[in-house]
Structure 1
């Protein structure tokens, strides 16, 4: 699972090769020579582009209004992914999250201008997806693995994070903290991930929640684990926290109130069979977040007065 991609070049030959940088990857090597001044100018331009790309991807997180619609880490059904991406685009989402597959990435960017995130637990797989146009990568969305009895330890997640950072040092990186850990351990892992340079922490918990009520009470019960994680982690780290798993239009605003910078929604949208219904659900969640943002702004202004 933890395979890596590397390229080694003898130091004696590197000086005559032109380094170039994919704006989303890092250093690569070309066989064409170039002058040192051109190399420095190219490096400066690339750093500026990388900075602008990451700033754009994280903008909605910093404004605490991010809405990421998730098609599923192991969902390779092109028709369903296309429907989810279209619903995210037309419904008012800020990001889309799809399986880590270059062809799916190309499909997604043909349908939307929203930032495309890819999810995987294989760092090496991210490289091709980023080359295809993904601007954000996510280590997480573990739900499908829990169904197979597979869980991830803090050590495994830290190792996956380090390998991803080595392969893609400049790409926006989000990492999910597993709900299988106790809340104190979730907070500890989040703090360690922040030190590793992770840009966003994602929480989860929908799979471990078994609501005893129906209706609105049931929706709130289902969201409780991820809301608790978002509350605890957002007070321990300075990077944005995305509350995900088990959320709906009812509970998404609660995530923002709890301290999250945004929400991630998967099954509430991707399990619907009708594209119109998908768009309506995304719109409902987006509207609920907008209302939450307005209320938060009013409260902050009141406190200042």
Structure 2
């Protein structure tokens, strides 16, 4: 008899992961001809692929509409209280996505706190499947800042290999890949073009960690964002896929990122370093308002859920 789990109605938080030899689709009852079971199998798999494709399209819609705002808790941030506060701030403040460490338990926590699409970040592709099974809808190779502090850098070859491995393991899950700011701008552009060819859905820029503003106040905020703004301007003109501008951004510079060619903005330390959830919500709201994201408009993911 056909395994019913493959044909279960798809929910964005109930992922269907097809593993070789796991699902016995051919019936054991000799009363059903093999040709019938094969037809059923094809129909079922086609339905699954269509649902996965629809979910991917929905998760990426805000990027294609150039209105994505992803709030990042940190690739190595496993503090449940802090992560919960960041998720709550993203949800209440008007963000469209939330990005957390690639940990299944944190993913389970996240989907109890928000209906926003949850992205998980890692530099270990083998860690992604468990997080996706737990409820993550998007994966990110990147958010390298914590590794730079350890003296570790990522070459173009390393990033490309991580991308290929992730696409091999999770070919249908939306994939964002960060282009290291440690590369020259020409090398960043070249890597972005190669990542597009490898099937990445989003390119993410960075640069806040390498920026040392000489001024205070608004001038300082603009100085801090300069490297990532330069990257997004250059890369967005070289690839056709959405480019997310991240690292060192604020309510002052988020609109500059969109004007420079970004399809979305990623914000981490400006939110996750604050002391309490109220301050975090206020900061997210400030950034969302600077990007003209209406707090009254439900994000595309929620709207799609309601229609389903």
* TM-score where L is the length of structure 2: 0.87
Query: Aligned pair 1:290/2:292, yes or no?
Result: yes
**2:34 is the alignment partner of 1:32:** no
Post-superposition offset of 1:123: 0.2
The structural deviation recorded for 1:42 is 0.8
Contact 1:67/1:263 (CA < 8 Å) preserved in 2?
yes
In structure 1, which of residues 64, 67, 79 is the aligned counterpart of residue 66 of structure 2?
Answer: 64
Cα-to-partner distance string for 1:184-224 (whole Å, 9 max, x where unaligned): 00000000000000000000000000000000000000000
The offset of 1:23, in angstroms, is 4.8
TM norm structure 1 = 0.88
The equivalent of 2:212 in structure 1 is: 210
- Shift, 1:277, TM fit: 0.4
* Count of residue pairs brought into register by the alignment: 277
Describe how 1:257-268 pairs up with structure 2 within 5 A. 257-268=259-270
* Per-residue Cα deviation, 1:102-131 (whole angstroms, up to 9, x for no partner): 000000000000000000000000010000
Q: Deviation above 6 Å: which 4+ runs of structure 1?
A: 16-19
Pick one of 171, 174, 194 that aligns with 2:173: 171
Q: Would you say 1:111 and 2:145 are equivalent positions?
A: no
Alpha carbons of structure 1 residues 246 and 31: separation in structure 2 relative to 1, 3 Å? closer
Deviation per CA, 1:20-41: give whole Å up to 9, x if none.
5985644443353421111111
What 5-or-longer segments of structure 2 have no aligned partner? Answer: 8-13, 27-36, 295-308
Corresponding residue number in structure 2 for 1:10: none
- Worse-matched range after superposition: 224-233 or 282-291: 282-291
For the aligned residue pairs, the C-alpha RMSD in angstroms reads 1.9
Deviations, residues 44-71 of structure 1 (Å, cap 9, x unaligned) = 1111101111111000000000000000
Find out whether 1:127 has 2:119 as its counterpart: no
| Equivalent position of 1:152 in the other structure | 154
